[in-house]
A and B are shown apart, each in its own frame.
Chain A
């Protein structure tokens, strides 16, 4: 379906894609993951030529789109794209956004296009917004409309470029539900995403991108659970485990709270558990450990397990061997106990940080 050979994309000061070679088969649902700046979006945008490749060749359904004589408009009509920033046409109503391309490009009658558009709107649950303008909709609604607009062209391939990254956490679910349904229809899809569990649920293939190309390519089980290569392993670990290091009393508490919140969103931790994790971190680290330690060195690791519906927070700290979970005032202790289901303390002298507290947070 799509064949890519020696694809290179270079900008004046950065080369996100050095050498990409792969083949994408009919019906593949591919998640593209990887650290930022490794060319995930660039790869997607090269496939429909929104970015012009510097070198290399790409075939789509047997047509070489990197050939200068290729009519890219025709190819793009069969290849939908969903953007991070929705890009609905601001001067047109929802229904016109969806009808425009089938009428103009596929020469469908307005009636036919309208009926199909209404069917798609019902599918994404937004039929009553047909005559609204995009700026009257929420982000999640806009993205669902954008997906319906893409589907109206009945594409063979759908490229989704971080479709939920620009959304409020409360709206991620509605868009993911639509994409999940889409993946079941057997259409070929490529999706750039950071949500591992979502990716695992919908895709049959994962590209981990790094070092200017597809670094590891495999099934979700293989890439997420048993990655072969070192960089993949570290990245997957980072997706799964959030590690926070504190080396001074004046550390950036709000910054860390933000990282925890991002981690919770990305792993779709239920809101109740997420707020408990925040609470436990604040009470233990900010209220109990920081005031008690003279020059604190604290390492925190947070790991969520979907199967067990629980989050393990491991906190190690320096100083004399002492269980400091009880050092805060009574209120803080009560809050900490309320937030964490289990609290255990142990100590080991030969470690850098002698003390370790393990908290288990459930929803």
Chain B
């Protein structure tokens, strides 16, 4: 009962925090109409881009802070954490069209060219040549302009892409990575990945006789993925830039566009003011129902659950196995395990995943999902190992002695006497570990896994709703944690030796008085 009250409180606080903020912020701050007014103001920049240099050049006194994605930047702007953020012209225009609070300043900060990114390997250069030839010819024939018009200005009904999954692939299949959260260049329409760059890549593969597989990952993880050879090329609105050319190969540019600055629109108060419930309904509609986006969430939940469940399974087995090896006090096993658990537990989870994905499994064709399972199995195994040490250590040593003195072997003593008494100590904390496991899976977006959090980001990049998808995702996490916690509590009850029935205790015995 108390749990539900607490949950309701948290949710109400979250909702209350989400809604009334923007009106205040726009009232107190000035409304910007020109780029130069932003000098000395707070500018947000996406991690992994080079807008930082551009902002420093044009607005030398600006205060720069970094954000992970465009939905985050929009949210920061609306809550008055920043005063503006730069972005590519078509993307910002789409954002402004979707989000009534955003405006785009007229100045073009820097005309830029976007290109695909390829690895600096032999095969990367070869593919780059092929790609360049196609881009040049597509530009000459006007096909490229046609694609650009279609996705940036064209009507929704014409925005279709070739069915690249069923291409015959006489020359093999290419693996492409993109962000999937950058309308109109690459984004999800419903569950379908679409956009300028997807269309272009599909046309290139069709013309070149390649099959195509597209993976979605966080923007700042794309360049490392290309460098590590995890994909053949990336099309994610990369801007050609000298410094990056040292580490990757750029193709011919496929589009030119301006760099603009997004700021808050001044008079959004007049346009529409929805009541609280109407606001929620509209947000719910946009987040879940429009374009069948709930399917994205379902897929995300399935991926999150899959990673969690497999990591629990393998992690528990791993921790248990390690514990059994170290239990007898084997010095070598202890030293190795101690070092490994110290290393794994001390490393930030993102770093561990990145190392596994790019270094350990760098040359192995293994999906991000499997790498996540490996990574989380390792950390969960380390936790289970620690829990077992603690729980088994809590059992009185007299219990061992009594069992040994009766003639029980070491193994039997552990399984029949010690383990059943240690488990009730362990399970409550095991439950806590599972909850934190679910939460920590939220970072797998860095290695191309579309889990619940990533799906939330993808939806946010379409709706530019700052908070509703975040809160929805949070509630779903709560529900998942509650569900797993409940299952583990059931186990707790069924393994508690003191809750056995009289019949079970006296199984196989006939009582005659």
- Which residues of A are in contact with B by a Cβ distance under 8 Å? 48, 50, 73-81, 83, 85-93, 95-96, 100-101, 104-105, 109-111, 114, 131, 133, 146, 149-150, 153
Contact = CB atoms under 8 A, between A and B. Distances in A.
B509 interface: yes
Contact of B408 (A73, A75, A111): A73
Interface in B470-512: 497-498, 502, 505-511
B404 A91 contact: no
B255 interface: no
A83 B403 CA distance: 12
A112 to B, nearest CB: 10
B421 A91 contact: yes
Q: Is the interface of B mostly helix, strand, loop or mixed?
A: helix
Interface string B420-447: 1100000000000000000000000000
Given A105-B406, A153-B406, A90 B505 contact: no
A87 B417 CA distance: 11
Interface residues of B, number: 27
B401 A50 contact: yes
B348 interface: no
Contacts of A153: 406-407
Contact of A83 (B398, B506, B508): B398
Contact of B505 (A79, A85, A93): A93
Contacts of B508: 109-111
Interface of B: 396, 398-399, 401-409, 412, 416-417, 420-421, 497-498, 502, 505-511
A90 B509 CA distance: 21
A53 to B, nearest CB: 16
A104 B417 contact: no
B508 to A, nearest CB: 4
Given A76-B406, A95-B505, A105-B408, A87 B416 contact: no
Q: Which of B396, B402, B406, B409 has the most chain A CB atoms inside 10 A of its CB?
A: B406
Contacts of A111: 508-510
Contacts of A93: 505
Nearest to A101: B406
Q: Which of A73, A79, A133 has the most chain B CB atoms inside 10 A of its CB?
A: A73
Given A100-B416, A104-B416, A87 B396 contact: yes
Nearest to A48: B405
Contacts of B406: 76-77, 80, 100-101, 105, 149-150, 153
Q: Which of B399, B402, B417, B511 has the most chain A CB atoms inside 10 A of its CB?
A: B402
Given A78-B407, A87-B401, A105-B407, 19 more contacts: A50-B404, A73-B408, A74-B407, A75-B407, A76-B405, A76-B407, A77-B407, A83-B401, A87-B398, A89-B399, A89-B417, A89-B421, A91-B497, A100-B416, A101-B407, A104-B408, A110-B508, A111-B510, A149-B406
Contacts of A109: 508
A91 B498 contact: yes
24 contacts: A48-B405, A50-B404, A50-B405, A73-B407, A76-B405, A78-B407, A83-B398, A83-B401, A83-B402, A83-B405, A86-B398, A87-B396, A87-B399, A87-B401, A89-B402, A91-B498, A95-B505, A104-B412, A105-B408, A110-B509, A114-B509, A131-B502, A131-B505, A149-B406
Nearest to B497: A91
B407 A92 contact: no
B290 to A, nearest CB: 56
Contact of B506 (A88, A100, A114): A114
A74 B404 CA distance: 11
B496 to A, nearest CB: 9
Contact of A110 (B401, B405, B507): B507
Contacts of A146: 402
A105 B403 CA distance: 11
Contacts of A110: 507-509
Given A95-B505, A110-B508, A111-B510, A76 B404 contact: yes
A87 B398 CA distance: 5
Contacts of A133: 498
Given A76-B407, A92-B497, A131-B502, A87 B402 contact: yes
A166 to B, nearest CB: 11
B275 to A, nearest CB: 59
Contacts of B399: 87, 89-90
Contacts of A101: 406-408
Nearest to B512: A115
A92 B498 CA distance: 8
Contacts of A77: 406-407
A128 to B, nearest CB: 12
B426 to A, nearest CB: 14
A109 to B, nearest CB: 8
A110 B404 CA distance: 21
Nearest to B508: A110
Nearest to B406: A101
A89 B497 CA distance: 11
Nearest to A109: B508
Nearest to A113: B509
Contacts of A79: 405
A95 B505 CA distance: 9
A81 to B, nearest CB: 4
A127 to B, nearest CB: 10
Contacts of A114: 506, 509, 511
B405 A81 contact: yes
A106 to B, nearest CB: 9
A77 B502 CA distance: 28
Contacts of A86: 398
Contacts of A91: 417, 420-421, 497-498
B291 to A, nearest CB: 55
Contact of A90 (B409, B421, B506): B421
Nearest to B422: A91
Contacts of A104: 408, 412, 416
5 nearest A-B residue pairs (beta carbon): A77-B407, A87-B402, A81-B405, A87-B398, A110-B508
B134 to A, nearest CB: 71
B328 to A, nearest CB: 14
Nearest to A106: B407
A88 B420 CA distance: 14
A146 B402 CA distance: 9
Q: Which of A50, A88, A92 has the most chain B CB atoms inside 10 A of its CB?
A: A92
Contacts of B408: 73, 101, 104-105
B494 to A, nearest CB: 14
